[in-house]
Amino acid sequence: MPYDLSKPDPNVVLHLLEAFRRSKTMFSAVSLGIFDSLESQPATAATLAGELGVNCDALERLLDACVGLQLLSRQGELYHNTPTASTYLSAQSPSRMTGYIKYSDDVLWKLWANLEDAIREGTNRWEQTFGGYGPLFSSSNFFRSPEAMREFLMGMHGQGLVSSPQVVAALDLSRYHRLVDLGGATGHLAIAACLRYPDLQAVVFDQPQTVELARQVVHTSSVSDRINVIAGDFFVDELPDADLYALVRIIHDWSEAKVLTLLGRLFERLPPDGAVLIAEKLLNEEKNGPPWAQMQNLGMLLYTEGKERTLAEYKALLEHVGFSSVRGIVTPSPLDVILAVKREP
């Protein structure tokens, strides 16, 4: 039956009504190990059901749904991973996002179920959702085991492999000589920067529990001789010398007071004409888009004490502590770029 043309197109509502089902389909296929099994070799639903210990009819429905989502292909009775699934959804891939996908399923999915209460109270939902609340990014919230920590970081690494090359290419950074990536996780930004700028030296600075993985990832890169990994807390420990500090997916986690404290530390530490590079997804000045940033903004309410911002809001924060020449660049990647310079008085 055709839609009533006198009424607005309902497809926006219909799409949103089923959007969560698409996410959960991918989450479940990753959690069950479907893409890992098919990466070894294509299989029928019956063979895969026996291997995974699940109901064959139910599994076939899930496999066919993954075909519809272009995560799998089907040739006769055999299911195959698509190149997208092999690259991002298989545990064997160095570009995998599976850690963050599993974290989204196990943790974020549950937090989003309490969005209404977050709106009512204006606070994150850790205590309501999980019955306890520790410091942000502590083991009680994020890293519940060494393996969970590793897979989460590797999931973020997969995202970083997509965004970091575009972040370091958005502006000409060739005049900087020493980059320190604060909260640099696996070092994907430092690696991308050193690959693009052959005279650059870099430091990955992050919490002690993350630096061993960072060293392993950096060691496998062709620029490992120009990257050092140092453990520390960027709010309290002495910061390594740099003429360019990077904050990738960091600022949006924290309250305005903590952001100003951190930016103030960087300003004091930088030499004249040094700069800070911030990578976050920018909201439009009218805050009417883009949807990725808007959804992330709600996510920050649920998970953290921070928020997403417009370029004007970042500019106000940066200028408050003394930075100037603030520039913002929108990229096609999940992250945009803000660069601010410490000028001579």
Active-site residues: which are they? 252
Residue 269 near residue 205, CB atoms below 8 Å: no
The answer to whether 118 and 302 are in contact (CB under 8 A) is yes
3-state secondary structure of 108: helix
Short-list 89, 130, 92, CA closest to 109: 130
Cβ atoms of 315 and 282 within 8 Å: the answer is no
The tokens describing 261, both together, are 């404290």
User: Which among 245, 329, 289 is positioned nearest to 337, based on CA atoms?
Assistant: 329
Q: Which residue has the tokens 């850790």?
A: 126
CA distances from 169 to 209, 223, 331 (A): 30, 17, 10
Quick check: helix, strand or coil at residue 308? Answer: coil
